[in-house]
Every structure is written in structure tokens, then in C-alpha cells.
Amino acid sequence: MTDDDRDTFAAEYVLGTLDAQERIEAQALAAADPGFAAAVDRWERRLGELNVLVAPVEPPPELLGRVKARIAAAGGTAAPGQTTAAAPAAGARSAEVIDLTRRLGRWRTATVVSGAIAASIVALAVTRDIRPDLMPATLQPPVRVVEKPVEIIRTVEVPAPRPAQYVAVLQKDAASPAFLLSVDLDRGTFTVRTVGAERQAGKSYELWLVSDRFPAPRSLGLIGDSGFTVEPRLASYDPATINSATYAVSLEPQGGSPTGAPTGPVLYAGKLVQATPPEPPARTP
């Protein structure tokens, strides 16, 4: 059996045009031959897609009786319980005639199946394009949504140039740095880092801003016992005052000066210096 014969045989099996003996042969072949079984699966998928296009029709209940009666009148296979005339002996035909007859039937079946599939594919394509609402829900083409392109305007945020950093070393002499003061002009905050100053029992270190713009030093608060003290107390001063001022540390009673002015010895002092150059302004493209 050639590949074409096997494919046609599979199509006949799926269509149900084989007789009882041929169906048994086809079932045995499908169980033993994976290639033939795959051909049967392909035909079931092809013809199954066509089957969903046809609405099921329930035959009238008297149709089966009429079919049986006509078969009996024509001398074919009898209805259940009836006897038939003796069939011609199987040896009356030669093997060549039987094989030719079978091939002729398969060629006709293949022609009918191919024509039906071609016509159905054309009808399916036309229906999908013209009247997709007539198709079953599973075969209807997806709804095409045409989106109008939206013009997107992107705003590129150019970071502002970073200001220069200012620091001051608060010390008694060049060899004894006690505190390191750094100032953030944008936020109006300062950070004091304890370097060499030692804590004294019952005493507190207090930071002062000394400027010729004020008649007396201005307190910036106590320097905490931790390694770093961060305070926002420079926010009320303008950058010129902050840059030109002298920063001093006095030793006060526990909790700070009781008068609002330095009462203990001023141990450390220093002025701000620019530690880093400001970033150049960003160039526009």
C-alpha cells in the first residue's frame, strides 16, 4: 500500500465509508502503525473543523425503518432477524478485480474528500471575511482594535548644579582638631562630627555662630554625645552670613548655657572653607 493509499484509507475510515471488515483492518493498522494513526488524527482534525460549521439535524424516527425496508427489498444485507440470499462465492472474483475495485472506490473517495475540503475552505475563508458573525464562536476571527498612536511628550529633568561643599575644622590649635563642621547651604543644615574633643562629666559642648551682623553670638544648639550631630538651625540665616561667620564651641553646664550667651570658656573655633568646586551648569542639547 502506497503512502497515498494509506492516506486515502485513513480518510475513508474517518468518513465512515469502509465496510465492517475494512474498518477492522483500519483499526488494527492504526494500533500497529504510528504513521497511519497520525494520518487518522489529521483527517479527524480536518473534517472536525468542517463538522462544526453544520448544525446537527435529528433524523425522523421512521427513517431507520424505511432504510432497512429498502435494503431488504434490494436483496442487500437483511435487517436484524431476517435471512438473505446466498452471496456469490468469494472466489468468483479474482484478486486483481477486487484490488482494482477497492482502489477505484478509494480514488473516488479521495476526490470527493479533496473537493469537499477545498470548497469548505473557500467557503470558510469567505464567511470569515464577509460575515464573521455567522461563524461559530470558536472560529470567529479576533476583533481587531486599531489604536491611534498617541504623541508622547517626554520632559527631561535636568538636575540643578550641585552647590559647593563647605567645612570648618573647630580646633584649639593646628595640631588639635576637636570637631569637624560641614554645612549644607541648600537645606540650611549642618553636621558636627566629634574628632578629638573629650567629654567632661557634668558639662556640655555648645556650638555658636559669631558674626559682625549680630551684637552677640547666636547659639546653634548642643553637640550631642554621639559621633555625629545633625541640626537644621542654619535655615534662618542667609548664605552670606553662613559663609562669613566664625563657629565656636564653648564648654557649658550640663544642658547648655542658662543665659543664651556663652558662659564657659570658648575652647574651639574655626571658619568655613569651600571644600569642593560647584558643578558646572548642565549644557542644553
Mean pLDDT, residues 197-208 taken together: 91
Boundary of a domain, candidates 143, 178, 200: 143
List Cβ neighbours of 263 (8 Å cut-off, separation of 6 or more): 250, 252, 253, 257
Tell me the residue range of the domain where 198 lies.
166-274
Do 115 and 250 lie in one domain? The reply is no
Boundary of a domain, candidates 128, 143, 158: 143
Amino acid 82: pLDDT: 47
Do 255 and 180 lie in one domain? The reply is yes
Do 170 and 243 lie in one domain? The reply is yes
The answer to whether 210 and 201 are in contact (CB under 8 A) is no
Supply 113's cell numbers.
474528500
Supply 132's cell numbers.
464573521
Do 109 and 203 lie in one domain? The reply is no
Do 129 and 257 lie in one domain? The reply is no
Which tens digit of pLDDT belongs to each residue from 144-202?
665 666 666 666 665 656 667 789 888 877 767 888 889 988 888 999 988 888 888 99
Residue 66: inside a domain, yes or no?
no
Residue 25: inside a domain, yes or no?
yes
- Please count the structural domains in the chain: 2
Do 117 and 183 lie in one domain? The reply is no
Which tens digit of pLDDT belongs to each residue from 166-177?
898 888 777 678
The answer to whether 208 and 217 are in contact (CB under 8 A) is yes
pTM of the model: 0.42
Residue 68: inside a domain, yes or no?
no
Angle, to 10 degrees, between the axis of helix 20-32 and the axis of helix 3-15?
120
